[in-house]
Structures are given as C-alpha cells and as structure tokens.
Chains A and B, each alone.
Chain A
Amino acid sequence: MRDLKVTPIKNGTVIDHIPSGMALKVLKVLGISGDVTSTVSVLMHVPSKKRGAKDIVKVEDRELNPRELNKIALIAPEATINIIRNFNVAEKHTVSLPDRAVGIVTCGNPNCITNAREPVESVFLVTSRDPLRMRCQYCDRELEDVAGHIL
C-alpha cells in the first residue's frame, strides 16, 4: 500500500478524483486564496488506478454546500466529495452537473444582459457533458472557457 503523503483530517471536506492538474482551479472555485485560517492540503498528480493520475484537495473545518458542489462538477465531473466529521466520513457525495446551471458561471459575452446591472442570475443550459458545452439561456451564446467563468 502506497503512503498518502497527507494525514487524515478531523473535520472538513475531502475532494477526490479531481482530474490531474485541476486542483488549483478547484481552490479558485472555492474562493481559497492565501488568507486561510485552517489547513488546506493540495495533492497534485497522485497515482490513480482509474486515470493514471489525479489531484486531491482537503479543506479542513469547512463543509461544502450544494452550489459549491455544482461548481466543482464543471471542472471535475467525476470528483467525489467526502464530508469528514471527527475523522469519520459523515457524508459522501458525487458531484453532478444539473441540466440548468443557475448562478454558477458568468456569461462570456460582455454584451449579454446578465452582465449588465440587472437583478438576475445567469442561467446556462448544459447541451453536452463530455465535452462540456453550455449555452446561455439569455443571449444564446455558447460559453468558451467554462473554468475561467466560474463565479
């Protein structure tokens, strides 16, 4: 058995099966930058039987909410999320991308009404999951660079 280079966490969230190289994007999506107050472990290019290599992110003292799970689904569609309480896996989630993604990405079209000062959330229709393709319900444009437009 291979040693995991990071020890188990007491409370928090473990995001596993992130595509190799996407861990830093996951941190960005979760709004984790330099000013953390609890430990955040990032493992990149961990050997994986299924995919050859994967990334793992462990965030201590924070439990992800459903909207955050949806956002992670955009960049890591096969990720698994374990909520840890007192060293035990209290909840296990697989992420899933809804058919309509509401309020989790901004439209890439600067002239879209959702980018004007209006009281609406962006709405994207997922037209394909692999490869991921999304279309803005308002301006009808397809979103290029999904990861770069996550809110």
Chain B
Amino acid sequence: MGGFKGRDVLSIADFPRKDIEVVLKTAKKLVPVAKGERPSRSLEGKILATLFYEPSTRTRLSFESAMKRLGGGVIGFAGPEGTSVMKGETLADTIRMVESYSDVIVLRHPHEGAARLAAEFTEKPVINAGDGAGQHPTQTLLDLYTMWDERGGIDGARIALVGDLKYGRTVHSLTTALCNFDVELTFVAPAGLQMPKEVVERVRAQGLPLSMTESLEGVVRDLDVLYVTRIQKERFPDAQEYAKVAGTYRVDAALLRDAKKGLIVMHPLPRVDEVAPEVDGTPHARYFEQAFNGVPVRMALLSLILEGSA
C-alpha cells in the first residue's frame, strides 16, 4: 500500500511489512518529541477526536499526548456517560457529527467491526483503538516497535506469546503482524486457551517455525522475546472456567534465571499476577518502555495520516 495520507487504520492485516517499517522508522525519529526534549508544531491547527465508548486510560492518554506533542488539539469523550450516545444516538450519526469538528477520529468501541462502520460514514481518517474482541492495530504497532527498537530488528527473533491466546485479541493481531517477518514462534497457553485454529493456520501458511506448549519453563531458555498477557476475566463465558486457569503462568526472577541475557519481557498492561514486581528491576523488563512507545508510534501514525510524513 502506498501513501499514508488520509488513510484509515482499522486492522493490522491492512499493513504489509513495508508499511509497518515506515511507521516504525517514523516513530523512532519522533522519540525526542514524544519525550518532550524537542518541541514540534507539525500538526498545529489540526484536531484529533477521541471517541471512547468504553474506558481505556493508556490508549486514550497516549493518543492525546501524541497529538499535543505535535502541536495539535484534542476533543472527545472518555466514556459514553453524559453524551448523546446515552440518548440513543447511533455510532453512524455521532461519526457524521464529529467529522465536521475534527481532522482525524480515534475510536474505541465495545462492538466488533465498529471502526470499519465508522470509516464508512466519514471521509476523515479513522483509527481503530480497539473494537470489542476484534482489532487494536496501534497496540500491535507499538509491540512491534518495542521488539524492533530493542533488538535492532525483528527478523531472526525467537518469540513466545504466553497466556490467554484464545480470547486475547492482542496476541491474534501481533501474530498476524509477525507473519510479515522471519521469526520463530512459540505459543504457550493452558489447554483450552490455545491460539485459534485460523491464526495457527496463518503462521503455518507462511512457513514459519512454530511450536505450541503448556509449559513456560521448558521454553524460556532459548527466547529473545517473552510476550506475556493477562488472562482476562471479562472475556470468559463463565467464572468457573476462569478460576481454573487464572494464575497458571507467573513470570518471576526464578523463571528468568536461565534466560538469555538479551531476553526482553513484554506485557500490554495492565498486569495482575502474570509478571512479578521483582522482574521490574531486572534488565529483561520492557513493559513500561512498551507503554511509553505508544506515544511515538501514535505520533508517527498521526503525522503520516495527516501530513503524509513526519
């Protein structure tokens, strides 16, 4: 896909490797701006609308920070309370209204497919910031950025994804994106929470080395990236099933004792018990950097979409 200007960001599947690399390189250039070390007015006069139909503190704040660091303005809401949504307005109508107040729209919505629908009702670019159990492409891009930046590239990495691989949308999108690279994947999940068949088929179709296991201990030693996810209570059909698997995996100092020196531990946050606080102080921990990386990556997307470059 060619130019970024005016483009929607709905699904990571719409990003071929070439486009992913443009975003990563642009984000790298913007790190000093993201840190507040270098001022920028490149998006002065532009307005970002953040429509959050369900709360997501990190995603919303990092988008707002990204826009403001680039000199742009932000309007929006952090939850449906007190808005016309509570009066029964459709998403389609809200989008048509917001279109006339802003230059780019970021949408978080509890229903799958909401961002695609929104994009059909506006000429302005729409960025999907999570649609139910569906897509969250900017999370995937910041995950890729973290690996790329820490390792100086993604090719050649041995990557394990751990936790609820069945219901976790983050790991589905990340796997889809990683299929663009030359990586070795391991899926670590309790029985019944392994990666869905269609995602596994996608990896196999690319001919990437893949293994699946229930045991984290057995694989840590060879890894370059350990991507840990929370087992999300809200995605489970019933509490009993959740109770059986909650707390299955815990990454702590003992587990990492035999790990490679360069292993990085990532987590999309918030964490519960999957990563022990004692890991925070080890050279492996990267989840807070990962959370920060959301800012330069989102700055890169906003710059590319609104200006065509950074």
A67 within 8 A of B: no
> Does B168 sit at the interface, judged by CB under 8 A?
no
Q: Which of A118, A136, A140 meets B90, CB within 8 Å? A: A118
Q: How far is the CB of B300 from chain A (nearest CB, A)?
A: 25
Per-residue CB proximity of A97-121 to B under 8 Å, as 1/0? Answer: 0000000000001011110111110
- Confirm or deny: A129 has a beta carbon within 8 angstroms of a beta carbon on chain B: no
Q: Are B92 and A136 in contact (CB under 8 A)?
A: no
A141 interfacial contact with B, CB 8 Å: yes
**Distance between A138 CB and nearest chain B CB, rounded to angstroms:** 3
Alpha-carbon gap, A70 to B135, bound state (A) = 30
- Whether B117 contacts A111 by the Cβ 8 Å rule is no
- B58 located at the interface, meaning its Cβ lies under 8 Å from any Cβ of chain A in the complex: no
B113→A114 contact, CB < 8 A: yes
A107 to chain B, nearest CB (A): 8
* Interface membership of B91, Cβ < 8 A: yes
Contacts of A90 in B (CB 8 A): none
Q: Report the minimum CB–CB distance from B97 to chain A (whole Å).
A: 14
* Cβ of B236 to closest chain A Cβ, rounded Å: 14
Q: Enumerate chain A residues within 8 angstroms of B91, measured Cβ to Cβ.
A: 113, 116, 118
Residues of chain B lying within 8 A (CB to CB) of residue A136: 113
Chain A residue nearest to B132 (CB atoms) is A111
In the assembled complex, A139 has its CB within 8 A of some CB on chain B: yes
Q: Are B117 and A120 in contact (CB under 8 A)?
A: yes
A112 to B113, Cβ gap below 8 A? yes
Q: Are B111 and A112 in contact (CB under 8 A)?
A: yes
Interface-centre pick from B91, B111, B120 (highest chain A CB count, 10 A): B111
Which chain A residues border B133 with CB–CB below 8 Å? 111
Interface bracket on A: 10 to 19
- A113, B113: Cβ atoms under 8 Å? yes
Contacts of A96 in B (CB 8 A): none
In angstroms, Cα B131 to Cα A76, docked, is 35
Decide yes or no: A116 and B134 within 8 Å by CB, A138-B116, A138-B117 being known contacts.
no
Please, which residues of chain B bring their CB within 8 A of the CB of A142? 198
Q: Which listed residue, B90, B111, B131, B135, touches A119 by the CB 8 Å rule?
A: B90
Inter-chain CA distance A140–B135, complex, in Å, is 10
Q: Is B70 an interface residue, CB under 8 A from the partner?
A: no
Q: Are A139 and B113 in contact (CB under 8 A)?
A: yes
Chain A contacts for B116, CB-based, 8 A: 113, 137-138
Please judge, given known A-B contacts A113-B111, A118-B117, whether A140 and B92 are in contact too, CB under 8 Å.
no
Q: Distance (Å) between the CB of A64 and the closest chain B CB?
A: 30
Residue from A113, A117, A118, A119 within 8 A of B112 (CB atoms): A113
Question: Are the C-beta atoms of B111 and A140 separated by less than 8 Å?
Answer: no
Chain B residues proximal to chain A, CB less than 8 Å: 11, 88, 90-92, 109-114, 116-117, 120, 131-135, 198
- Sorted from nearest, which 10 A-B pairs have the closest CB atoms? A138-B113, A139-B112, A113-B113, A139-B113, A113-B111, A113-B114, A113-B117, A138-B116, A111-B132, A118-B90
- Could you pull out 12 A-B pairs where Cβ atoms are within 8 angstroms? A111-B110, A111-B132, A111-B133, A112-B112, A112-B113, A113-B91, A113-B113, A113-B114, A118-B92, A119-B92, A141-B112, A142-B198
Q: Which residues of A contact B (CB under 8 A)?
A: 109, 111-114, 116-120, 136-142
